[in-house]
Amino acid sequence: MNTIPASPAAPALNIKAADVDTYDAIVIGSGISGGFAAKELCELGLRTLVLERGRTVEHIADYPTALSAPWELPNRNQLSRKMREDNPIASRHASFQEATEHFFVKDKEHPYVQTRPYDWIRGYQLGGRSLTWGRWTQRWSEQDFEANAREGIAVDWPIRYRDLAPWYSHVERFVGVSGTRDGLSQVPDGEFLPPLQMTPAEEHFKRQLARHYGDRHLIVARMANLSVPHLGRGSCQNRNLCVRGCPFGGYFSSNSATLPAAARTGLLTIRPHAVVESIIHDPASGKARGVRVIDANTRASTEYFAKLVFVNASTLNTTLILLNSTSSRFPRGMGNDSGELGHNLMDHNCNATIGAEIPMFQDQYYQGRRPGGVYLPRFRNLGADRSSAFLRGFAYQGSSTRTPRATPPGLGPELKSALRDPGPWQISMRGIGECLPYHSNKVSLSPSLRDAWGMPLLEVDAAFGDNEHAMTRDMLAAGSEMFERAGFTNITAHEAHDNMGLRNHEMGTARMGRDARTSVLNGHNQVWGAPNVFVTDGACMTSSGTANPSLTYMALTARAAHFAVDQLKKGNL
């Protein structure tokens, strides 16, 4: 049996599933939500098979650049011209670097069809994009879950904040989230480890916002980076090299946390190189029997069977699998009685960036490379403030730093001395705005094009709308005004015009709802008409909110897993 160590003290992961084909549960995908599904289902006593379409990545051993200095990399961590030319989509992502390119899908190896420009950024390996995510972990608020119903947009969420609040706590206590309790309704407080620290420049900005505005509150970012050791994982070393993989376990990933926890139960099996072709429907029971898998290397087909199937392949691949799971019961794809499967694709609008210089605090500096920053929660369209220009709202993510002066003179000792003399403080903020769930933003299966494994290529047809463009203009104007009132100088405001998808916050396409006629999933993330199939990754989202979504995915996953096991024990599944 092939095994890999999950962590220095963790039991081995079983990664060979060829000799056994029946389990209690199958989880498709091993990223943020799939890893959490595996942990919860195993800890609840189910023999669980995790199907990962990519290679195995062993925690620590398979982070080849984690400790590399820039001069130890052939191109000093810059992408080669050939790498950029071969990967015009992936290379637009900020984390796609020489030191990290092995964690990203290459454009030519996994093509898709873009009806309108869409940047699909993927990571096909054990752990998925949990190895390269941004780690900002805010809870959603009651306002986020109520927005669709309040405004008559799309369909109503079948749950509210109170339904998810205990599961947010459950997840935060395991993940380890550093942050402060700030008493703001738009970003509810959670279970926090000690916070990372603001710089003097950020503390000044916080004071100026409080002085000039009654509704704008700068807080330290809530990050899935450990400020202290937590559950056997080491604390963050303030290197800000997280996307290379952290040998200290200082940030949360499937590889460092959830999969080792699942392995400790002795009930976990992982099958890498497993491309899920479809979910098998049993017409007699009305439930799923299992899944069909294509071996990524040999192209051999295998079927695995289970009482529960959790689909966590990441939004677009999850929907591809459901659309490809046709049967006499589901001729248009599993759970697609409503015709909504594939529609309502969303991504956060992060096209506004504001920068400035800070002419104060020239006698102060900081230590280390903090992996987070500061967060300015949503203030538009809350309470009495109702903008007529657009619906919903936005937040800002920001940070400040001091860098060497732009053109240090000389060479040798003169250059070294100049590099030790930092320039002025600089601060920047990027808006992160809600995207509405437009029915016209959609994905579908190509009727003629296939990939190397015989799967239909996904066709993506999506773009930001007028509401998002109006929001971007306000992000730029409001950010510039706040910097000016804070006394900052050389203020710049830049609109990026990025395609949808580049933020990696793709959501929707298999939304939750209250009615099978207008949604794909019910209030417990069950597929309508196939009650033992659960979808708990970004595909399930009914709206996009303003806060980063991964914490919500994990909370939904934990909630659904406990519900599924309870229903299984009662004989309802």
User: Which tens digit of pLDDT belongs to each residue from 243-287?
Assistant: 999 999 999 999 999 999 999 999 999 999 999 999 999 999 999
Contact by Cβ (8 Å): 253, 131: yes
Mean pLDDT (the chain, rounded) = 94
Nearest Cα to Cα of residue 34 among 290, 258, 366: 258
Least reliable range by pLDDT among 1-10, 338-347, 375-384, 470-479: 1-10
Does pLDDT of 164 surpass 70? Answer: yes
Q: What is the DSSP letter of 195?
A: P
Does pLDDT of 459 surpass 60? Answer: yes
Contact by Cβ (8 Å): 247, 60: yes
Each domain of the chain, given as residue ranges in start order, spans 3-179+254-346+507-569
pTM metric for this prediction: 0.95
* pLDDT per residue as tens digits for the range 460-517: 999 999 999 999 999 999 999 999 999 999 999 999 999 999 999 999 999 999 999 9
Looking at the chain, the whole-number percentage of residues with pLDDT higher than 70 is 96
For residue 297, the model assigns a pLDDT of 97
Does pLDDT of 12 surpass 60? Answer: no
Does pLDDT of 144 surpass 80? Answer: yes
Helix boundaries (H) for 47-199: 81-86, 142-151, 161-175
Q: What is the CATH topology of the domain spanning 3-179+254-346+507-569?
A: FAD/NAD(P)-binding domain (3.50.50)
* pLDDT per residue as tens digits for the range 21-63: 999 999 999 999 999 999 999 999 999 999 999 999 999 999 9
* pLDDT per residue as tens digits for the range 377-431: 999 999 777 777 999 999 999 999 998 776 666 788 888 777 778 889 999 999 9
For residue 14, the model assigns a pLDDT of 56
- On the CB side of 499, CA atoms within 13 Å amount to 19
Q: How many CB atoms lie within 10 A of CB 107?
A: 16
Q: How many CB atoms lie within 10 A of CB 364?
A: 11
